[in-house]
Amino acid sequence: MLNLNAIESGYGETQVLYGLSLEAQAGRVLAILGRNGAGKSTTLKAIMGLLPLKSGEILFEGKPMAGQPFGIAKSGIAYVPETRDIFPSLTVRENLEIAAKRFGGAGADWTMERVLDLFPRLGERMDNGGTQLSGGEQQMLAIARGLLMNPKLLILDEPTEGLAPIIVKLIHDKLQDLKAAGLSMIIVEQNFGFATSLADDVVIVGKGQIVWTGSANDIKADEDAQHTWLGV
């Protein structure tokens, strides 16, 4: 579904990714793991067109990706960034409404009602300003916004950060449902248990390159790799 071929990218002068390649397969969940600062978020930003590629290419459904972020989003990719990026000048409702799109994702047909069912907390705050929400509420909003786009590929950067355990479990279950329905996903997580119980495939990023590839079960078994690359 999504292929990164030897991409190099970074911030201005600072290069962060050094020939990173990976593949996310349709209908499967790929977890990207790695230490703080390894380049996980940078990889996601490169996918979304938020950072320029110095070299390499990114293919989505076999075709080269559109250059601009809005074009990339329109081809059916939803992105939930680690910094959440809720729009402060918009109310919770508006934050959700401008995201509501149908990009033909498999499985779910997310509507406003459905996401509010999932996160009732948001329903109670519909007319609050986006950044008046608590940290965790903002995280829910960011995820809800991603779901409402009904994408073909859902990219989540640390979706459980700052969430209460009960919500983490909830999200875990929902993502599991989505996976069952055939939605493709990429997840970056620090929560090892969460990531590996959801993912089919796992890659580990270290210093801007893929240093380990395998299945979720492989990494659960490979304590050595866990220790070397993740410091678990």
Partner 1 sequence: MFRHNTLRYAVLVLLASAALFQAFTAEYFGLEILTEILILAMLVLALDIVAGFGGMVSLCHGALMGVGAYAYALLSTTAGIAPPVAMVGAVALTGAIAWAIGAICSRSHGIYFIMATLAFGQMAYSYVFEAPIFGGDDGLGGIARLDLSFVGIDLNDSRSFALFCLVVLGAIYGVSVLILRSGLGRSLTGVMHNEQRMRALGLTVWRVKADVFGLSGMIAGLAGVLAAQHIMYISPGLLSWTVSGEALVVVILGGLGTLVGPLVGAAAFVVLKHELSAVTTYWHLVVGVILIAVVMSRANGIFGWIEARWGDRIERRLSDTTRKPEAKEVLGDA
Partner 2 sequence: MAHDLGFWTLQALNALQLSMLLFLLSIGLTVIFGLMHFVNLAHGSLYALGAYFAASLTAVGGYWMGFFLAPVVVAGIGILLYSGLIKRMRKSGPMAQVLVTFGLIFAMLDLTRIFWGDLALAIEVPALLDGRLAFLGVEYPTYRLFIIVMGLAIFGALAFVLGRTQIGAMIRAGVDNDAMAACLGINVERLFFMVFCFGCALAGLAGAVAAPLLSVTPDMGLQILIPTLIVIVIGGLGSLKGAVAGSLIYGFVQTFGAVLAPQLASVLIYALLAAVLVIKPVGLFPAKG
Partner 3 sequence: MLETRNLDKSFGAVHVTRNVSLKLERGERRIILGPNGAGKTTLFNQLVGELTPDSGSVHLAGEDVTALPVAKRARRGLSRSYQKNTLFDGLTVEENLGLATAVHTGNATQLWSDSLAKPEVREIVNEVAEQVNLMPYIHAKVSEISYGVRRQLEVGVALATRPLVLLMDEPTSGVGPEMSKGFHDLLNNLPRDLTMLIIEHDMDLAFDVADTITVLNYGEVVFDGLPEAARGSKLLKDIYLGNWEDA
Minimum distance between the CB of residue 166 and partner 3, rounded to whole angstroms? 3
Minimum distance between the CB of residue 18 and partner 1, rounded to whole angstroms? 9
Measured CA to CA, the distance from residue 40 to residue 177 in angstroms comes to 25
Q: Which two tokens stand for residue 186?
A: 């990429």
Per-residue contact track with ligand ATP, 7 to 46, x per CB under 6 A? ----x--x-x-----------------x-xxxxxxx----
- What residues does 186 pair with on adjacent strands? 30, 155
61 makes contact with partner 2 (CB under 8 A) = no
Contact 184, 1 (CB under 8 A): yes
Q: Looking at beta carbons, which residue is closest to ligand ATP? A: 136
Phi/psi of residue 76, each to 5°? 110, 25
The binder of Mg ion chosen from 9, 20, 38, 41 (CB under 5 A):
41
Contact 9, 54 (CB under 8 A): yes
| Residue 5 near which of ligand ATP, Mg ion, partner 1, none (CB within 5-8 Å, type-dependent) | none
Contact 128, 134 (CB under 8 A): no
Q: Which residues bind partner 1 (CB under 8 A)?
A: 14-16, 35-38, 206-208
